[in-house]
Structure 1
Amino acid sequence: MSEQLPERWTKAGVYPDMWVDPDDDPRNTNGSAPDGELATFQDYLTNYRLTLRMKCEGLSPEQLAHRSVPPSTMSLLGLIRHLAEVERDWRNWIALGEPAPKLYGDPDGDFEGALPERSVVDGAFADLEREQADTDAEFAKFPDLGARIGRDHDPVRALWVHRIEEYARHCGHADLLRERVDGRTGQ
């Protein structure tokens, strides 16, 4: 017996292949790029963060916790929890001193603990928001993109690119996960 899959759909009315109409898009999509390398990095990261949130909008805890395909443990809620954990990891890489403990315990705790419960969903989004703010504050201490920082003496520029890459990759996952949940496609 085959699983019933949702029909593809979009909320957009102007361009039917888009997630939202351009006038309703909260991301910087007006065609004007920011000046400077750091501002460009910040803009891309902000837009990917908004994209991830958009992919989760309007879903129930059950839908957010819906896993992709076995044996994968990936879900939209798991991605939110994973990125909260990753934000903390970046801060641990660059801040000297004792690293902050894992948010969700075991190496797969971020995905395995993505349960379809309102308290888990609310906690995950709160964790992500807090960890993003804390990591942003730590990165703000290093405006020189060529400076080498942290335990591994990585260049700030490389860490920014890694952060953007991490969100971009997981936004691609979120596109597929959302389509699997309710048929809504991304842009």
Structure 2
Amino acid sequence: MTERPARWTQATVYPDMWANPDDDPRNSEGPTPDGELPTLQDFLTNYRLTLRMKCEGLSPEQLARRSVPPSTMSLLGLVRHLAEVERDWRNWITDGDPLPKLYGRRDADFDEAVGEQAVVDAAFADLEREQAATDAVLAAYPNLGEHVGRERIAVRELLVHRIEEYARHCGHADLLRECVDGRVGQ
């Protein structure tokens, strides 16, 4: 990128926030989740929302814009990557044959993230479908200590790993979005 966009935020209450508290879907009134499983699910939900928020309002070309060479990382690539890893996590917890990769070859999730509306629409549909499918499989295992699948992974470990993956990539999304149009905030 040759141009440096000016840094800005939509927030008026706290200048380091992405949005004002009343406009932030991650803010909820009332008590915090009670128990380990609801707490983990709440964190996962909020990171999923954060990723979507970082992508909102951008054109397909902006979503596909790479960060800095030689990186192939883009916001659209992150969406595709997280759809791919949701599927991969589901493979960890099932006993059957693994599902094939969504985008074929290794790194195609990033390499083929091009600025076309059809690719953007497909990526978000893939992400929603894969999240829902993994959530549905995990719903059958309310005992976080249960070990499941061919790998005999603990449900707790899988949930924490998913949160870690989304949190790490939301950090990438912060920087990518700032490079695209200068918008900043948590």
TM-score (structure 1 length as normaliser): 0.97
Deviation, structure 1 residue 55: 0.1
In the TM superposition, residue 186 of structure 1 has moved relative to its aligned partner by: 2.1
After superposition, the C-alpha distances for 1:67-109 in whole angstroms (9 at most, x for unaligned) are: 0000000000000000000000000110111111100011100
Q: Describe how 1:14-33 pairs up with structure 2 within 5 A.
A: 14-30=13-29, 32-33=31-32
Corresponding residue for 1:121?
A: 120
Q: Secondary structure at the match of 1:71?
A: coil
Does 1:177 find its partner at 2:170? no
What's the counterpart of residue 93 of structure 1? 92
The offset of 1:31, in angstroms, is: 7.3
1:37 paired residue number: 36
Write the letter of the residue equivalent to 1:73. Answer: T
Deviates more, 1:48-57 or 1:22-31: 22-31
What SS does structure 2 have at the residue aligned with 1:42? helix
Indicate if the aligned counterparts of 1:38 and 1:145 stay in contact, CA closer than 8 A: yes
| Count of matched residue pairs | 186
Aligned AA (1:167): Y
Amino acid at match of 2:169: H
Equivalent residues of 1:28, 1:43 under 8 A apart: no
Over aligned residue pairs, what C-alpha RMSD do you find? 1.1
The alignment-based identity, stated in percent, is 74
- 1:5-154 aligned within 5 A: 5-30=4-29, 32-154=31-153
- What is the rounded CA distance, in whole Å, between the counterparts of 2:156 and 2:10 in structure 1? 36
Separation in structure 2 between the aligned mates of residue 82 and residue 148 of structure 1, nearest angstrom: 25
Do the aligned partners of residues 176 and 84 (structure 1) sit closer, same or farther apart at CA in structure 2, a change above 3 Å counting? same
Corresponding residue SS for 1:41:
helix
The amino acid of 2:158's aligned partner reads L
Instruction: Give, in angstroms, the shift of residue 150 of structure 1.
Output: 1.0
CA distance in 2, matches of 1:144, 1:47: 22
Runs of at least 4 residues off by over 2 Å: 28-32
TM-score with structure 2 length normalisation?
Answer: 0.97
Whether the 8 Å CA contact 2:11–2:17 is kept in 1: the answer is yes
